[in-house]
A = this chain, B = another copy of it.
Amino acid sequence: MLLLRSIRGFSSNRSITWLACVPFALFGLGVFNLSAHAADLPDLTPNFLANQLWLLIAAVLVIFMNAGFAMVEAGMCRQKNAVNILSKNLFVFTLAVTAYWFIGFQIMYKADWVIPGVLKFGGLFFDPTVTAEMVTTPDTLVPSVDFLFQAAFAGTAATIVSGLVAERIKFGEFVVFSLILTAFIYPIAGSWQWNGDGWLAQKGFIDFAGSTLVHSVGAWAGLVGAIALGPRIGKFVGGKAQALPGHNMAIATLGCLILWIGWYGFNAGSVLAMNETVPYVAVTTTLAAAGGAIGATIISTLCSGKPDLTMIINGILAGLVSITAGCDGVAMWAAWLIGLIGGAIVVFSVAFIDGLNIDDPVGAFSVHGTCGIWGTLAVGLFNTDAGLFAGHGFNQLGVQALGCIAYAVFVVVTCWITWKIIGACFGGIRVSESEEISGLDIGEHGMEAYPDFASAGN
């Protein structure tokens, strides 16, 4: 009977079942030989211990950000799509880890096979020689913690996309896109800068923890998806944006605070060691979040007369994204100011994206894209070693702008092609009109998020 139902399942949900093949196909690439233990362990120095411990904790904090993203996105969307949003966030992180483990990590950081400056591929990380005992030198990171930290970053890029395409994308098609993003697009883009040999790194581009490399990459990928999908039914009436309020502000607020503490792992962990810079980065991150909330609250109160909770939330996130590129190299006052400006920008950006009739349900492009760009440019203004306001001229600002443009072009082009191919293979990426109206929870997952509660009937 299970077999019979399986066959029916196969035909009724084609994309999910295609998906089923992917991990097995990937898995087939690996040989089932077991690992040999490396023999000689160096002494564990204080620096070694502190570095591994801090990076491990930072990785845990970044992984916890998945809970933050899930709560913010679900809370800011409607009840009828909550299961779908929660499922996307939960499942996509597990796929991102898998895809990044098989392919992405080696593209991003190894260089056995290279199209110079564009693609570096070092084989599968799925490497049987990586074991607990593999410590090569006492003062560097062990491969395992390095991988874990980077995989968590890859998951972040994928989850940003989720917000932009929410409430109308098919589950299986989104899942396939996420696999391609984390296995290929994000790692190739990342290798330009975080692999020491990358062309942008050699040009002197600065993006300490990923305002551009993670946040704007995810935002551009999602924006292309949002445009390909078109707006949700009822979002624009006569070209004017309508409010489709989120269903659960309690979990949205919780998600914002989880993201805030997760960002200490994201930014301060990007030092990739434990030293005196780590707590300093934590302070600039905190001040930018504070500035972001204040900026967004002031601007949104001036514009609408009342402080909107979703704008406080997005203001905090905007401040955090804005400081991500420069968190290690700006003064404390500059960090607060970068956040404040980021918080102000996000309010105008939301209105601007609405004005373009692009439907970004949770403001993800404004938070991660617009503020990702602002934060990257802010390095060229405020960095104490290279910024304009530190008397170093416009050179760094130019390099920062170049990086922003390069990432935008690369991600927009590759993701547009990817969305179109997925759409062509699986019969479109958008759910049917009737499914969208009744909610994706029933249509995509056959269940409700809150079946014991009566709906408000709107």
Select A279's contact among B144, B260, B282, B351, beta carbons within 8 Å. Answer: B144
* Count of chain copies: 3
In the complex, chain A residues 284-319 whose Cβ is within 8 Å of any chain B Cβ: 286-287, 289-294, 297-298, 301-310, 312-313, 316
Instruction: Indicate whether A280 sits within 8 Å of B131 (C-beta atoms), given known contacts A17-B302, A306-B444, A454-B453.
Output: yes
Q: Are B245 and A248 in contact (CB under 8 A)?
A: no
Say whether B276 contacts A52, CB under 8 Å: yes
Q: Which of A227-280 contact B (CB under 8 A)?
A: 245-251, 253-254, 256-258, 260-261, 264, 268, 274-280
A60: chain B residues at CB < 8 Å are 61, 261, 264, 282
Shortest CB-to-CB span from A23 to chain B, Å, is 6
Instruction: Look across to chain B and name the residue whose beta carbon is closest to the beta carbon of A299.
Output: B6
How many angstroms between the C-alpha atoms of A386 and B54 in the bound complex? 32
Interface assignment of A458: CB less than 8 Å from any CB of chain B:
yes
Contact of A455 among B63, B142, B453 (CB under 8 A): B453
Cβ contact of A312, chosen from B91, B253, B258, cutoff 8 A: B91
Q: For chain A residues 90-147, which have a beta carbon within 8 Å of chain B?
A: 90-91, 93-95, 97-98, 101, 126-128, 130-135, 142, 144-145, 147
8 Å CB contact of A67 from B132, B258, B308: B258
CB-based contact A293/B91 at 8 Å: yes
Q: Which residues of B contact A416 (CB under 8 A)?
A: none
* Interfacial chain B residues near A93, Cβ < 8 Å: 290
How many whole Å from A7's CB to the nearest CB in chain B? 8
Chain B residues with CB under 8 A of A302:
5-6, 9-10, 17, 20
Q: Give chain B residues whose Cβ lies under 8 Å from the Cβ of A46.
A: 44-46, 49-50
Chain B CB within 10 Å — which of A80, A130, A351, A450 has the most? A450
Which residues of chain B come closer than 8 Å to A98, judged between CB atoms? 287, 290-291, 294, 336
| Interface size range on A against B | 35 or more
Nearest 8 pairs between A and B by C-beta? A145-B279, A132-B280, A79-B452, A67-B257, A94-B293, A46-B46, A94-B290, A49-B50
27 residue pairs of the A-B complex, CB under 8 angstroms, read A5-B303, A6-B302, A9-B302, A17-B302, A23-B294, A46-B46, A56-B264, A60-B61, A66-B257, A74-B250, A87-B309, A94-B293, A98-B287, A132-B276, A132-B280, A142-B279, A142-B280, A144-B282, A151-B286, A247-B453, A306-B444, A306-B446, A310-B447, A451-B456, A452-B456, A453-B453, A453-B455
